[in-house]
A and B are shown apart, each in its own frame.
Chain A
Amino acid sequence: MDELLSVADLETRFRTPEGEVAAVAGVSFAIDPGESLGVVGESGSGKSQVFLSIMGLLAKNGRCSGQVRFRGEDILGLPAARLNALRGSRMSMIFQDPMTSLNPYLTVSRQLTEVVVEHLGLSRDQARARALEALERVGLPDPAARIDLYPHAFSGGMRQRVMIAMAILCQPELLIADEPTTALDVTIQAQILDLMRVLKRESNTATVIITHDLGVVAGLCDQVMVMYAGRLVETGSVREIFYQPRHPYTRGLLRAMPRLDDIQDGLLDTIPGQPPNLQALPPGCAYQERCPQVYPRCRSERPELRILGPRRGVACHLELGP
């Protein structure tokens, strides 16, 4: 078993005043060392919660069950004290919103050095040198002059670079980037994606890129996982997902993707309709209301993820017939 991370039957539920919400339901997947996985889906499909569950960072009202193994060791639901040996050093996470994800009351140098002081036991001076080196690597201009500033002196793009520097300080085996570019403007987005690509090439770190933009996945990932309403609806290699999509939702996402060669009509087909309310899921397939190919079986029987190959799966009744 040389998988870096393997997840089986992950379920994440939130208690809310209106009842329980299953934000993630029965998700299974695996990541090999050095591999790059893209996780795609619309807002609210449970992408973030899968990885927050794995990192032990769920909100207070959240509970998760299932099995998560990191290098063979079961880590799901470990107490924070045990997880802390892994978090920030062997697996780290970059968040969606760089403007609020850094502590406004501590200098950037403090926020970086504390990671290596905690995990590697470096001295203050060594930690500072390490932090400067990481800031250099992520392309922060003039790090020596900026490292002692507070985050509010940084733009969104610079803050995201700081977040990335923080995540790679201990050379993690797994780096999870939760929509690292969504909150940034387009030119900065491209720069950050370039940076992610360079980091991927230069290190043996496995990466997870969470995004709702299939275009991001195309340039960065080996494997793709498509999520809908808390479930995995299709997995495959980037080539398979782009050239032989099997799930109507994946096809919808692909049609909604802006492309340079899309010159026929210049119009994008966004998927009509809204994702379903997780608290009132219909029986059968969660995508039925929006699916162009829906047929009676879809309304009564929920399609399980069918394994088509070692890293290939789809959850749809279509090819099975009635």
Chain B
Amino acid sequence: MAARIMIAFAARRCLSALPTLLIVITLAFFMMRLAPGGPFDQERALPPEIERNVLAAYNLDQPLWRQYLDYLADLTRGDFGPSFKYRDFTVAELIANGFPASLQIGGLAMLCAIVFGVGLGTVAALHQNSPLDYTVMTFAMTGIAVPNFVMAPLLTLLFGVYLSLLPVAGWGDGAWANKLLPVIALALPQVAYIARLTRGSMIEVLNSNYIRTARAKGLREGLVVTRHAVKGALLPVVSYLGPATAAVATGSVVIETIFDIPGTGRYFVEGALNRDYPLVMGVVVFYAAMIIALNLAVDLLYGLMDPKLRRP
């Protein structure tokens, strides 16, 4: 019964995600073309008829609306097209090539964000207005206020250059030492945000009537927190996981470029600089679809946690 409702809900959400995806694709497609320059500008000026042939080969001689419709038609067949810059690869291959590194960095960053964010937020809430609380909140304000393209070079300077503890950049075939700084830089703002969110909702829950009831029952404070407070306090955090994934995905574009990590995000930046339209579009569509899917997963998780939604 409950499973049927869940599946119906998921199906409805997938359908309603299609217009969103279409809007994202359309905006990305036309904004890309609005940017000055074209894919073949950087190469030596080509003789006019050769340039015409190249453009024809990639359908770039067609009117824009035609190209747009063709692109949509290709997409429905799961075809992201060829890359203009890396001519031997399709966009799908490039994404598949870069994604493992991106997934590791992004996934680890999300994991850190949840574990440390919830942990720090809970500790701060349990010691409200103590020096510990103020320390955590100062850290959180800093983490939220400092953008990651500032944080990343600072971390590199400190740990890579002055202390020489960690490599300043590169992937090193996925060695831990290479992952550490990018993951920290990517996770920090999210750790900070989740810590603040957790602290706020935990304090609110701890002051609620049902927690007073739990205390009146003579339960140990540990049980009051873990059994009675955590669930309600984590609901806002769960609903933030969707936006958090989106923030980590966009953040990874910057971080991968700064730390020279061969991930999807770096391809995106290179693609944009080279006006490699299919590559940029491919990454946009892929990330948009992924974020929509993760948001759906988060909503399902929320439904599992909130009894009011589970049993109508």
Interface set of A (CB-CB < 8 Å, partner B): 55-57, 59-60, 80-81, 83-89, 92-93, 95, 97, 100-106, 114-115, 118-119, 149-150, 152-153, 163, 166
Contact = CB atoms under 8 A, between A and B. Distances in A.
Contacts of B214: 103
A84 B220 contact: yes
A88 B208 contact: no
A80 B308 contact: no
B228 A103 contact: yes
Given A83-B218, A114-B219, A100 B308 contact: no
B221 interface: yes
Contacts of B223: 114, 118
A95 B212 contact: yes
Contacts of A150: 307-308, 311
Interface of B: 128, 207-210, 212-221, 223, 227-228, 231-232, 305-308, 311
Contacts of A57: 212, 215-216
Contact of B217 (A59, A60, A153, A166): A166
B308 A59 contact: no
A92 B215 CA distance: 10
B219 A118 contact: yes
A89 B218 contact: yes
A152 B213 contact: no
Given A93-B216, A100-B208, A101-B213, A152 B221 contact: no
A95 B213 contact: yes
B231 to A, nearest CB: 4
A80 B218 CA distance: 8
Contacts of B219: 84, 88, 114, 118
B183 to A, nearest CB: 32
A59 B203 CA distance: 12
Contacts of B216: 55, 57, 87-88, 92-93, 95
A87 B213 contact: no
B218 A152 contact: no
A100 B211 CA distance: 10
Q: Decide if the interface of chain B is mainly helix, strand, loop or mixed.
A: helix
A158 to B, nearest CB: 16
A81 B212 CA distance: 15
A152 B212 contact: no
A95 B209 contact: yes
Contacts of B311: 149-150, 153
A103 B219 CA distance: 14
A176 to B, nearest CB: 9
A47 to B, nearest CB: 16
B75 to A, nearest CB: 42
A86 B218 contact: yes
A97 B209 contact: yes
A192 to B, nearest CB: 17
Given A60-B128, A152-B307, A153-B311, A102 B218 contact: no
Contacts of B210: 100-104
B217 A115 contact: yes
24 contacts: A83-B218, A84-B219, A87-B215, A87-B218, A92-B216, A92-B217, A95-B209, A95-B212, A95-B216, A100-B208, A101-B210, A102-B210, A102-B213, A104-B232, A105-B232, A105-B305, A105-B306, A114-B217, A115-B217, A115-B218, A118-B219, A150-B307, A150-B308, A150-B311
B218 A88 contact: yes
B212 A114 contact: no
Given A59-B207, A100-B208, A87 B217 contact: yes
A163 B212 CA distance: 13
A56 B216 CA distance: 8
A119 B227 CA distance: 17
Contacts of A102: 210, 213
Contacts of A106: 227-228, 231
Contacts of B215: 56-57, 80, 87
B307 A104 contact: yes
A56 B207 CA distance: 14
